[in-house]
Structure formats: C-alpha cells, structure tokens
Structure 1
C-alpha cells in the first residue's frame, strides 16, 4: 500500500450508521435512494444466474407466436387474459440490461406484431368488440401493454411504441369516460373493479412521466371511478369477494402505484396503505418464513404454508413494494425483507434450470409448475428483469449497496466523476464480500453498505486492510465517507451461523433452519424417505447441524447441511436413527420447512417480523 493511500485511509475516513436518513440531495421528489440504470450494471452470482436463465432458458424458449401473439391477431374471446403486455415489459428491460441481439430482436418482434393488431380506435387486445373494456381482464391486459410500449420508448426511444401506447391509453380513457358511472368487472362492485383494472394506474403514470401529458395523470387522480389518491381500504382476511381488501397482489399493486404518484406529487397520505401492508406483514404474522405472503391469492396470517400459498404475483409485487419503500425511506429493513424474498420465495418459484415457473410456491407439500402465459409467469419475468436495478442505489453524491452479489456497476456521480464498483463474493453461501472501488479520479463521496438484520455477530469492515470501527446496528446502512481513489477496496465479513427460527401461529412449536438469508428445506426425494413417513413428526437434534457442504442441485456453489433426527414415534432418549440432508428452499423437491426440535431452547425469533421500528 502506498503512503498516500495509508494517509487517506487514516485521515479521511468518516463512518456513519444510518437507519433511514441516507439523504440523496439530487434524488427525484419523494425519494432518498435512486436505483442505478439497467445499463449501468452487470450481474453474476446467483442473482445474475437467475437473470440469465430467465432470459436464455425461459424467455427465448417461449412459443410467442402461438401462445402470446395469435390471440391478439384473432380477437375472438369474450373474456380472458394472456399477459402480452407484461411479457413485452420484461423483454424491454432484459434487452436494455443485456443489449443482446437475440433479446432485442424478440422485443422488436413482439412490439411490431402487437402494433400491427392495433385497430383505428386504438384497441389492442384479445376480446370481441362487444366485450371490450368491460369484459373481464380487458383493461388489465391493455394496461400492461401501455406500460410495456411506454417503457420501450423510455429505454430505447422508440417513437412508434410511444404512439401506440398513447392511442391505447386514449382508447381506455375515452371509452370509460363515455360511461363514467359504469364499473368494469364481474359484479359491478368498486372493490372487484381493481382486479380487472390492475396496472392501469402505473401504466398511465409512466406514460405521464414520459410525455408530461396531464390527461394521463388526471385520469388516475381525478376520474370519479378511480381517484388513486383516495384509495384507502382495510386489509381483510375473509369476505364474499376477492377484492382490493382481500387480494394481496391487487392491494400491493395499488400501493406501488400510490408510491409512484408520491414520487410525482409527494404526499404522506399516499404512503398510508403501504404502511398498513408492512404492519400487517411484520406485526400481524402476514409475512411467511420464505419472505413472501398470501394464501389462495389473498392475505392470510395463520402461517399455513401448504397448497396455494405464496402466489408469484404477490411475491413479485411485494418485492417491488419493498423497493419503493427503500427508495422513499432509505430504511435498510426493506432491503433485509427484499433479500429474504429474493433468495427464497422468488427463486423457488422457478425451476433450477430456469425453464418453468410456478403460480404458487408453498413451503409445505408438493409444489407445481404452471404454463407460460397468464399473470404469475409474466410477473415473475418482470420482477427478475427489475432485479439488476435493486442492487445499487444512488445516495446523495455516492452509492448504497443493497443486495450482495457478484456484480459490476459503472455509474456517473456528480461533477462528471465516473465510478466503477465491483463486488467479489460467494454470497449467499459466504458472508465475505470484497468491494473494489475505482473512481476516475480521487474524490470524496459516501458509500453505504447494508448490514443485514440476520447478523447476530458484529460485522467486520475494513478499508484497504484497515479496520473500520463502527457501532452500526444490524438492519442499518453503514456509510463510509472518505476520499476514494482507484484500487481502494472494502472488505466485509458477515458471520453466518445457523439459526433455528421459531414458528408462529400454525407453526408454533415448530422451527425453520436458516443461514444468512437462506432457508433450508427437507426433501423426501433427496433423502430417499418412504412416502408414508410423516415429515411433521420427525424430530431433529438442533445441535447436530454440521458445517454446510456444497450442493449444486439448486445452484452452482449451493449449500446443504446434515442433521441427526428421530423418526416419528421414536423417543428422543434413544439414539437418533435418521441422518437427513437439508437443502436450500428453491430445491424443487422440498416439501417441508418447519420441524420439531428435541431442544427448542436453541431457537430464536425471526428477525423480520419482530422488527417493530
């Protein structure tokens, strides 16, 4: 190390522990953190692998002609949904991220073929004329087409896409405004309306952001049947209809739209519904151990995890909602929640090879794959396409690191300063993270590092080999502000001990095994257990958890661990008779995530639901 670097490391270092005040002086209205662009980052590690396999093993393997485009050419349905707009939106983002010719060609083809079907009045859809607008899911389908086409203009400057988006949006507004008292949906009820118009608000707000045409903003905020700022309902766990009060995806999509509007017209009242959702998740047992939520697409709090648990649409929109909350508040706990959901519920909703996607992702019992069209597969593709923008955020004059994964970010900071930030890590298998800092010239700026809430031991941080003394609490951002120069490096050491997490509600008396952000499951197939064996009655010795071993059945460099256990009915006073291998939760053959323990005193509370800040 040069003497000059030693002097910088000793003299110029300022360390600040920040929970929610990582102020971004030049951030958009209502935001303290701002995502870097899709073209400014390249991912590796497990997050990068998931992005890649979604593109090359799923997106490019779809039969887009038959499954997605033909229904729009035929337009012979009275109701129904395909998800072409969501597919276009995902493909646009993947094309921007990769700049891959194949992906760009698919994007251009999907959009060109969709625009070819646009009728003179602006309609693009799958329904017969008599069912348009008022038919079930027609506005929902059109809304995401508006969004995908608008984002093609946003990321690629395609004016034809913007023109088609405006014509389609104008069609929706004109037709609905002509019958302002009419409510779309199956029963004419306002609460049910949101299920068939999901995405309209976000699409129109995005169109307004790109055009500055107030008609789109005004329709969201002032049209009698919509009035997004006035949306204000209580979360319900039961009722006769799966409406905006009960349906978790619909509710969170409206929360995301209100937060998008908050970015345009900051108003704390627009955050009320989102805070209600966070309180329900973290204080009323709505958050599952996998990081996701929902049962049969609705809110639930009894912690059951079998059957139609953890809808992929809910997983996607919860991740998106947490991203917005992180951006608005700068509070690291939302990054902690994002990390849990990404590495567990989200990745478990996809086969390890990337080709198949799930509609539901239970943590108890068998998991099933779904087809390529409809809401969940396409919302999965969309959120995977957004992940590159959830790793690094601009914070004031510097950057904040939210997700740890092998990656390289190339960004421009104020005063024409170019910064390359490169993460070198085996995360989430390892808690060691090296961040290489290479500014274009020596300059002082802050770098924020999220210290995960699961860290039960002090995190070791060093800059150029010199320890950074800090009392930063877990669940916070550690901000290091100093003069940085090319070749500097930050080293984080986050110890990853095993954690037995206490179950809640239906899981009381049972325990889940975690290490870092990863949840581990039990697979009868991997362990060659007889089908008749009741996994819920197996008792595990919690002290028998060994050091993790490498296991590549879910991902390269993945982990598994061995435990000793007693088969059902066998007394724990006798020697254990089972040796089990627990694998990462995305293991498609896993059917259990909670277990009985011979010594429950070795367990602890889940760090996410007990956070009441």
Structure 2
C-alpha cells in the first residue's frame, strides 16, 4: 500500500508492463498559470458547490435514508450514487493540497454514512436497497450497480492514499468480495452495461495486492461479446464482439473509453499482447478519425455515441464533458505503457479545450455537451438530472498535479508545462526536484530548473511546435515536434533549461473527409483552440462571418480583464453584406449572388471560456473564401 505522502492517481509503480511510473499529487505543487487558476477555482468554488448540490439532488440524503439514520425515501436515478462518489474522490485529491478542516469534515461525514449504509454481505447501492432489494443484479445492462461500485472504489482508493485511513477502502473491498463471489471464476459471467469497474478493480489490486480483483477485472472485460450475450449483445453497450476482436470505436462514447482505459490498466499488469494490439487499433480509430479539434469525443446525440469515421458535426456535436475526460484518462494509461508524445498531445488538447470548457470561470456551472457551434440559448447549468459531468470535472482538476510528470528508472518525464514544483525520488532512489516557471499556454517561454544530480530529463515537444528551441545553459539542443527531447547529464547547481515553444496563430484546416468543415478553417494558438462569439462582433451576424483571407494580420493580445485573463486574438474578419435573410433558400446557379465581403473588427477568445458572458452564438469553424 502507498504512503499518504505520495498519493498517486493511477499507481503504476509496481506494474510490470508500465514503462513509466506515477508521481503522487502531493509530490507536485502547481504554482502559477492557467492550470493553477483552474485548479484553485475548483478547490475554492467547484467542490464546495458540488457538496451543496449533492444535498439538494438527494444524493447524500439517500445514504442517510437507507442507513436508517433519517426517515424518507430514496430519490433520483439508478446511478445517482456515482455522482457522490466522484465528488468524494475529488474532495480527497483536493484535501491532499488544501488540508482544509471544513473539507475534511465533509469527507468524514460522507464516508461515515456510506459505511453505515453498507449491508453485511458488502452490498451498497441506495437505489437497490429496501423495497428494491429483489432487483439487485437483475439488469446488468442498465442498472449501473457495478458502475457505481467502480466510482465508490476509486473514491476509496483516493481516500486511503490521501488520508491513510482504511474505513472507505474496507467498504470497497467488502463490495468487491461480493462481486467476486457472484461474477468471479466460481460464479456466473457478469459485467456492467457501463464500464468503469474494470479500471477501479485493477487499481484496487494495485492498492491491496489482492490478485482476485485483477482476475475480476479481466473476467468483466472477457464477458463482453460472448454467445449467448452476457449483456444485450448491442453495439451501444460494447457487447457486440469480444473485446480483443473490436477494431472500431463504436457505441456510447464514455462507456467505450472507460472500457479501453480499463483494458489498458489490465495490460499494464499482464502484458497480454492481444490487449495492446486491440488498444492500438482502437486508438488509431478514435484519434485519427473521430476526435474533434477540441479533444471532444462522441459525435452523436443518439446514444451519446461515436459516429462514423469523419462524422464530426459542429452545431449538433455531442462531445460530452465526460467523454473528453475519459479520453484523457485512456491516453494517460497509454502514455504509461509507452512514452509516445502523441498520447500527451491529445491529453493536452482535451484539457485546454474540451475539459476546461466543461466548467464556468467561477467554477459553479457546467456543460454536459460541448458543441463547436451554437446559435445561442445554450449555457452551463449548476447541476443536471444526470449529473455525471460536474463531479467528473471536479475530480479531474483536483488530481491535475498527478498528471504533469512521470518517472522511469533514471528519467523525469515532463508531460505538461505549468508553473510547478516537483519533489520526488526516482525508482533508483535518486532524489529530484524540478521547478518549472512559465505562463503557458499564453506564453511559450518555459524555464526548467533541475536539482543537482545524475539523471535524465525528457521534455515533451508538442506536435504543433515546429520551431521549438531547447537550450541548456545557452547551448542549443535538438527539439523535434511530437517527441520527447531527452537530456541526460550530471546536473549542476544553477543549470538552466530553457524551452521556447512558438505561440504563432495557426489557421487550421480539417481533413476534407470531415464534410462539415471542408470549406472552413479554425484558429489555434499553442494548444488553445479559439472561437468567435456574437458578443465580440462589432456588427453583423455570426452566420455571415468568414475567416479573413490574410491571417498574418491577426494579433494575439493579453487581456487581463477579459474572461479571467486570457490571450485573445484580434483583427478583421469578412462580413457578407448580401442580405441573406431576404434570399430564397435555393436558387439556380445562374441567379446565385456570391458573398460581397467587407472587413469588420472581431475578437476570438479561447474556446474553453465561451458562454461566460451570456448564452450567445458561437463558432469554432468559419467558412473561408478561397
């Protein structure tokens, strides 16, 4: 078991097939920059607001009801317990840094009532206790019982790693033992229609050393695609084929991505060749054919599902916040398998765009869907009837320090750049301290100050950074985009590493197979994707705005008073002056009036910050004139 001093999110320190080893959230301090601001807002506003919402939504009162501590009835959907468990995991990661008495009191109260609600056989799920007890495990397709167990277990592991206390971990273990009796080798085949427990069971094995949990995770992955089916045999539930025979990302996006993350965890422990072969194939499908420029995943409202290859609508993009987070989680696990910078690149794209967009700037409102275009009227909400996304954002942001770095025997990998301080030991025992000073992603200037000693630094050079410069004490070294720059040396006191990433304004074009974006372009600066909101147009309608022909005249401008302090992009766009509202929908080509453009002043803002000034219209992709 880990000591509370390290508190890793995904512990690969003893995983036989992990190239990289985890760093604990307590070993990293965020000190400055955008990620630090979002991290602190989540701790100060998001997590406390979530605690209030858990009471108002009846999530926590349900536990008091089933434990007999309060009268009343259980309310809410079948999966409501998982909202509380995700919040609890977030609160534990937050407590690793905050050490706040109020936060600890909330954690203690929730853990206490969960333990009180658990029955003697280990079962705990407020929806299937009392008068619904006879329905337990009768609907593996849709009941979410094992899914809720997964989030309980992840919260329990975070609680144990941060506090050193075993109360909640023992609750999770008793439930896991029940599941092993029911669905282990001596039981029947079983899995949850919504994968999640696979990740949790592998992590529980890592935390306790109990191999039964790893066996059960493997059984649940093996349960999919059997004949006759264990679930309903559908694509939606990823039950259409055995996992190792799946070659395309289909079905419910979050379910699929959680399953892929769980299978990657299993590979990290077993090294099974068929698993990693399948995972590589699925990764290529997702991130070369089905991912939004924002890192969003899941194109369709119907079934919250992946679409066909290159099916990436903008106005009707589903792109659930949970799916961006699930992709982030899967890429992190793939990165521990092999330190390939493309995994970290996609994590960064999702983080700065599709994940940060999920929470308002004040930390109290949330997006469920993250479209790349809006005609207006869509804004964040304080909570949802299906509230999976808000606490998922809470736990992701609260655990961010644990994702910045990884280790191998003698190397420190720097995956993401933020003002931060790392204090750790390499697996070989070498103590290492790394201090990073930067205003990334607004600035591409990054100073890394390593402590003295003989070890290697591996610095990620993002795939977009074509003119990156890396200098050690003024001496220029190779920095290839889409890779890690490896610097092995005997570091001395005062050594300085300077990485300069070009923060140019890039005009992006989509693969022509993405039909909706074929004649459009978008703006990106560094990892940040930009959008245009109606509120930032000096005149005209967003529907009539075209991308300027000459983007070299656009300028990045730091605006401390705008949207919490951002770098905006200012310049001219083209406004079609033909009165389109008076034109017929369709005309013969001989009568068609082409656009008549004149320049108008506009301002692009980071996509993650849109809809913080009202529910106005927004577009990421703008049509081009050439």
- 1:131 aligns with 135
Question: Offset at 1:528?
Answer: 5.6
SS at match of 2:373: coil
- 1:15 aligns with none
Describe how 1:512-523 pairs up with structure 2 within 5 A. Answer: 512-523=522-533
Matched, 1:547 2:555: yes
Matched, 1:254 2:251: no
Task: Describe the shift of the 1:27–1:402 C-alpha distance in structure 2 as closer, same or farther (beyond 3 A).
Answer: farther
Describe how 1:199-598 pairs up with structure 2 within 5 A. Answer: 199-222=196-219, 226-228=220-222, 242-244=236-238, 245-284=250-289, 286-295=290-299, 296=301, 297-300=304-307, 301-365=310-374, 366=376, 367-372=378-383, 374-413=387-426, 416-439=429-452, 443-457=453-467, 459-464=468-473, 466-470=474-478, 472-504=479-511, 505=514, 506-527=516-537, 529=539, 533-535=541-543, 538-543=546-551, 545-552=553-560, 556-569=564-577, 576-589=598-611, 591-598=618-625
Question: Offset at 1:34?
Answer: 1.9
- 1:81 aligns with 79
- Counterparts of 1:219 and 1:404, CA distance in 2: 37
SS at match of 2:484: strand
- 1:60 aligns with 48
Partner deviation per Cα, 1:151-208 (whole Å, 9 max, x = no partner): 322333212222211122223344556995586xxxxxxxxx6434x22222222222
Task: Describe the shift of the 1:99–1:28 C-alpha distance in structure 2 as closer, same or farther (beyond 3 A).
Answer: farther
Question: Offset at 1:271?
Answer: 1.9
- Counterparts of 2:273 and 2:193, CA distance in 1: 25
Question: Offset at 1:137?
Answer: 1.8
**What are the ranges of 5 or more consecutive residues in structure 2 without an aligned counterpart?**
1-11, 67-73, 228-232, 239-249, 579-592, 612-616
- Counterparts of 2:327 and 2:436, CA distance in 1: 26
**What are the ranges of 5 or more consecutive residues in structure 1 without an aligned counterpart?**
1-24, 184-192, 234-238, 600-613
- Counterparts of 1:175 and 1:269, CA distance in 2: 27
SS at match of 1:564: strand
SS at match of 2:496: strand
Aligned partner of 1:32 among 19, 23, 26: 19
Describe how 1:187-206 pairs up with structure 2 within 5 A. Answer: 194-196=192-194, 198-206=195-203
Tell whether the 8 Å contact from 1:248 to 1:314 is kept in structure 2 after alignment: yes
Q: TM-score, normalised by structure 1?
A: 0.83
Partner deviation per Cα, 1:555-595 (whole Å, 9 max, x = no partner): 54411112312222459997724111111111223610011
Tell whether the 8 Å contact from 1:523 to 1:582 is kept in structure 2 after alignment: yes
CA RMSD of aligned residues (A): 2.8
Task: Describe the shift of the 1:227–1:588 C-alpha distance in structure 2 as closer, same or farther (beyond 3 A).
Answer: closer
- Counterparts of 1:200 and 1:134, CA distance in 2: 17
- Counterparts of 1:463 and 1:438, CA distance in 2: 14
Count of paired positions: 548
Question: Offset at 1:116?
Answer: 1.8
Task: Describe the shift of the 1:460–1:537 C-alpha distance in structure 2 as closer, same or farther (beyond 3 A).
Answer: closer
Tell whether the 8 Å contact from 1:53 to 1:355 is kept in structure 2 after alignment: no
- Counterparts of 1:257 and 1:266, CA distance in 2: 14
- Counterparts of 1:252 and 1:334, CA distance in 2: 14
Which consecutive segments of 4 or more residues in structure 1 shift more than 6 A? 229-233, 571-575
Tell whether the 8 Å contact from 1:57 to 1:355 is kept in structure 2 after alignment: yes
- 1:167 aligns with 174
Task: Describe the shift of the 1:573–1:349 C-alpha distance in structure 2 as closer, same or farther (beyond 3 A).
Answer: closer
- Counterparts of 1:230 and 1:195, CA distance in 2: 9
Task: Describe the shift of the 1:424–1:78 C-alpha distance in structure 2 as closer, same or farther (beyond 3 A).
Answer: closer
